Amino acid sequence: MAKAATRRKSIEPETKAAKPEKTAAKKKSAAPPAAAPRVTEHARIEAKRGTATIYLGDCLEGMREHVADASVDVVVTSPPYNIGIRYGTYKDDLPRDKYLAWIEEVSREVARVLKPGGSFFLNVGNKPSDPWIAWDVAQQVRKKFALQNTIHWVKAISIAKADAGSASGLASDVSVGHYKPINSDRYLNDAHEFVFHFTHEGDAKIDRLAVGVPYQDKSNIARWDKTGGRDLRCRGNLWFVPYETIQQRDKDRPHPATFPVRLVEMCLKIAGAKAGSVVLDPFLGIGTTAIAAARVGADSIGFDIDLGYLRIAEERVREELARLL
Ligand SMILES: C[S@@+](CC[C@H](N)C(=O)[O-])C[C@H]1O[C@@H](n2cnc3c(N)ncnc32)[C@H](O)[C@@H]1O
């Protein structure tokens, strides 16, 4: 976990009951809650490849102050799961009802800023002993959005050579990827998380083949008219995306709950994010979404309450943009 060298006062998530929606412009003049420091711009990194803007502060206040109505093409985010993860600043142990009310409020704000044809990818995982979290969260978001796709982020998988078939070229059974092992005589290790794809009406166009895979049986290319002769098919909704291999946890992944850049990049690609698109992550952490946005050439906006994480995010995004030049 990151040791935030400089920490600001924690901003507790808001849990108050739903308020009527207002436009960003109207809300801009409203004073922030007494306990919450104003959201400040931590860094604006401008490059040929796109601009990444990183804000320090609560995402609800931040979205209200800095993100206009219907201005965002794609939101990719992973909120705290309320499972007691030890973040640098945030306390991940709210009473369930308050946590879910907060998630509802965040999703209402996301609904306000997302363009009509936009996509909202929400990554949430469960704990074996609390298997409803992801669905409880999804039910809150459902109040404002349609669930268009449910993607399973598979972190580890085992495939028997016999099941893969001879065309796969597998030399032996394989077991690949990593998960956080649990000691239990009740639960299986949890090797996946959800990425819920929410849209306003459930009818946003997506580019499935942007993350397509080659046919294993090449005779299908000619058999199916829709291939247009291309050796590419939809990969489906099970995405095996292992964590990037790291040497030292503290140095290479200094945050207790990140997702892989490639997972975010795949979401952005199917949503058609490109140069000129605006990508938002209300819970930026160490900047994974901003890095993925840079890879597809999009601009990004991110919020986090932890200055230590944002310093790392800024460094990672600068490195990525320099690498991509
Ligand atoms: C699951 S982590 C996101 C990690 C990120 N996806 C990454 O790959 O680095 C959730 C993040 O939400 C931040 N957070 C918690 N409450 C917040 C709030 N009210 N506004 C903005 N960020 C908040 C935490 O500091 C934490 O970094």
**Of 277, 280, 258, nearest in space to 153 by CA:** 258
State mean pLDDT over 283-292. Answer: 97
For the chain, the residue count is 325
Ligand 1 atom 12 nearest Cα: 283
DSSP 197-265: EEESSS-----GGGG-B--SSTHHHHH-GGGTT-S-B---SEEE-PPPP-S-HHHH--SSS---HHHHH
Q: How far is the CA of 162 from the centre of ligand 1 (A)?
A: 42
Residue of 98, 283, 309, 314 to mutate, ligand 1, most atoms within 8 A of C-beta: 283
How far is the C-alpha of 42 from the C-alpha of 55, rounded, in Å? 5
Rounded distance between C-alpha atoms, residue 59 and residue 76, angstroms = 14
pLDDT of residue 247: 66
Q: Determine if the pTM surpasses 0.95.
A: no
List 55's β-bridge partners, or say none.
Answer: 41, 303
Would you give the end-to-end CA distance of the chain in angstroms?
A: 30
Closest residue (by CA) to atom 26 of ligand 1? 285
Exposed / middle / buried, residue 87 (Cβ in 10 Å: 0-12, 13-18, 19+):
buried
Ligand 1, residues at Cβ distance < 6 Å:
11, 13, 58-59, 78-80, 87, 89-90, 255, 257-259, 282-283, 285-286, 288, 303-306, 309
Domain ranges (residues) in the chain? 40-206+237-324
The two three-digit tokens of residue 33, written as one number: 């809650």
For 49, list phi and psi in degrees, rounded to 5: -75, -10
Question: How far is Cα 64 from Cα 113, in angstroms, rounded to an integer?
Answer: 9
- pLDDT at residue 49, as a whole number: 83
Atom 21, ligand 1: residue with shortest CA distance: 304
The pLDDT > 70 percentage for the chain reads: 87
pLDDT score at 27: 42
Dist. CA 254 → ligand 1 center (Å): 13
> Ligand 1 centroid to 119 CA: how many Å?
20
Name the CATH superfamily, with its identifier, for domain 40-206+237-324: Vaccinia Virus protein VP39 (3.40.50.150)
Say how many Å lie between the CA of residue 276 and the centre of ligand 1: 25
pLDDT-derived band at 2 (thresholds 50, 70, 90) equals very low
Ligand 1 centroid, distance to 235 Cα (angstroms): 29
Compute the distance from residue 42 Cα to the ligand 1 centre, in Å: 15
Nearest CA, atom 23, ligand 1:
304
Distance CA 109, CA 67 (A): 10
| Apex 42 CA angle, 83 and 317, nearest 5 | 80
Per-residue pLDDT for 77 more than 90?
Answer: yes
Give the nearest ligand 1 atom to 81 CA: 1
Q: In this predicted model, what pLDDT tens digit does every residue of 106-161 receive, in sequence order?
A: 999 999 999 999 999 999 999 999 999 999 999 999 999 999 999 999 999 999 99
CA 236–ligand 1 middle distance (angstroms): 28
Burial 202-222 (b: 16+ CB within 10 A, else e): eebebeebbbbeebeeeeebe
DSSP one-letter code for 166: G
Indicate the residue type of 205. Answer: K
Cα separation, 236 vs 234, in Å, equals 6
